[in-house]
């Protein structure tokens, strides 16, 4: 019959035009512990009326006049921090003691929630202790547990700027022992952003200068656990060893006493937030080019399955001894 479509052609046309799209509002909220700001809705090109409809929808509930939360989202510390950060204005980032606590310094208070933000907005929040700064470089901001947060080097400067020197030194030593920062990473931060007059810069410079380039911080719980494990198995390893070929490649976590075997322990929680994948790959490739075998394990594996850690080490040692 003229003009009629067969069932197959109708079905094909239906399939062709059926495009499943992901709701950008839900997509963003899922990456922010279920929260989203009205400003972010506008950045998603929603009209003013559409923004109002989303905010007033039964699927969302008001956390503040600026932030809404997907109804049914479990209450958590992460949600509290996300709401406070979003409520403080665009590009706000966890900082100071709050950031230090999230990086593992349990002695630092989580609250009042401290954030930094550039001065381009006049927004203020009753939920945070807001620090307005001239510039928050993208290179010194990351995400940890989906929360925007300043990197440990910037935290170190803020700790020196807001605490007694002895207290700041103790806390930054712990960040160093956790391998969240190092002498070179602090110096790189100071070279890029350590302008004179910034609160904490002079004290941080003095802290690094006093320790020198060969400083080895106190062993962390992870390092102590690894040394105990390999000691029990009579595997000789040295901690925090400078390594490389013709040129210095870097300080590695552990190196075998006689074989070209290096062990690097990565924090399952922190490594992704801190990782410069290109630099990591280049460093690993250089160590391999220098003749080393590199074994990487996570802190989680170290504590949860020590037998697997030892099995990996013994396999690498066997290969090197049979080479």
Taking only the tens place, the pLDDT of each residue in 104-131 is: 999 999 999 999 998 878 888 999 999 9
pLDDT at position 253 over 80? yes
Question: What total of structural domains would you count in the chain?
Answer: 2
Residue whose C-alpha is closest to residue 60's, from 34, 79, 81: 34
Q: Is 242 helix (H, G, I), strand (E, B) or coil?
A: strand
Q: What is the pLDDT of residue 196?
A: 58
Taking only the tens place, the pLDDT of each residue in 55-113 is: 888 899 999 999 999 999 999 999 999 999 999 999 999 999 999 999 999 999 999 99
pLDDT band of residue 247 (cuts 50, 70, 90) is very low
Domain finish residue from 186, 211, 236: 211
Domain finish residue from 178, 211, 244: 211
Of the ranges 40-44, 257-261, 285-289, which is most confident? 257-261
pLDDT at position 172 over 80? yes
Domain finish residue from 181, 211, 241: 211
Q: Is 16 part of any domain?
A: no
Residue whose C-alpha is closest to residue 252's, from 308, 212, 294: 294
Q: Which of 138-147, 164-173, 174-183 is predicted least confidently?
A: 174-183
Q: What is the pLDDT of residue 9?
A: 34
* pLDDT top residue among 33 and 55: 33
What is the pLDDT averaged over residues 9-24?
Answer: 49
Domain range holding 83? 72-211
Q: Is 270 part of any domain?
A: yes
Q: What is the pLDDT of residue 223?
A: 87
Query: 168-177 long-range contacts, Cβ below 8 Å, gap at least 24?
Result: 168/200, 168/203, 168/207, 169/207, 171/100, 171/105, 171/107, 171/108, 172/204, 172/207, 173/217, 173/218, 174/104, 174/105, 175/100, 175/103, 175/104, 175/105, 176/217, 177/217, 177/218, 177/219, 177/220, 177/223
Answer for the pair 312, 295: CB distance below 8 angstroms, yes or no: yes
Q: Which of 121-135, 212-226, 245-259 is predicted least confidently?
A: 245-259
Q: Is 252 part of any domain?
A: yes
pLDDT band of residue 285 (cuts 50, 70, 90) is confident
């Amino acid at each position: 019959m003229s003009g009629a479509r067969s069932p197959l052609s109708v079905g094909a046309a239906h399939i062709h035009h059926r495009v499943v799209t992901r709701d950008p509002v839900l997509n963003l909220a899922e990456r922010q512990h279920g929260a989203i700001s009205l400003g972010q809705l506008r950045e998603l090109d929603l009209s003013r009326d559409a923004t109002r409809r989303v905010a007033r929808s039964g699927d969302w509930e008001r956390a503040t006049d600026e932030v809404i939360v997907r109804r049914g989202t479990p209450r958590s510390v992460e949600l509290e921090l996300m709401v406070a950060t979003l409520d403080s204005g665009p590009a706000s980032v966890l900082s100071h003691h709050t950031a230090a606590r999230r990086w593992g310094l349990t002695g630092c208070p989580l609250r009042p929630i401290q954030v930094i933000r550039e001065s381009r907005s006049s927004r203020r929040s009753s939920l945070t202790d807001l620090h307005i700064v001239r510039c928050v470089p993208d290179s010194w901001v990351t995400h940890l547990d989906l929360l925007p947060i300043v990197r440990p080097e910037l935290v170190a400067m803020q700790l020196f700027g807001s605490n007694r020197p002895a207290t700041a030194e103790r806390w930054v030593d712990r960040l160093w022992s956790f391998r969240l920062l190092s002498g070179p990473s602090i110096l790189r931060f100071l070279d890029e952003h350590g302008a004179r007059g910034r609160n904490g810069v002079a004290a941080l410079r003095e802290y690094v200068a006093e320790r020198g380039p060969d400083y080895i911080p106190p062993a962390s719980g992870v390092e102590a656990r690894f040394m105990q494990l390999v000691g029990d198995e009579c595997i000789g390893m040295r901690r925090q060893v400078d390594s490389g070929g013709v040129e210095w490649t870097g300080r590695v976590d552990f190196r075998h006493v006689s074989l070209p075997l290096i062990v690097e322990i990565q924090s399952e929680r922190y490594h992704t937030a801190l990782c410069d994948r290109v630099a990591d790959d280049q460093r690993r490739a250089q160590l391999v080019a220098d003749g080393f075998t590199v074994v990487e394990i996570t802190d989680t594996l170290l504590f949860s399955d020590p037998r697997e850690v030892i099995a990996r080490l013994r396999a690498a040692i066997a290969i090197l001894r049979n080479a």
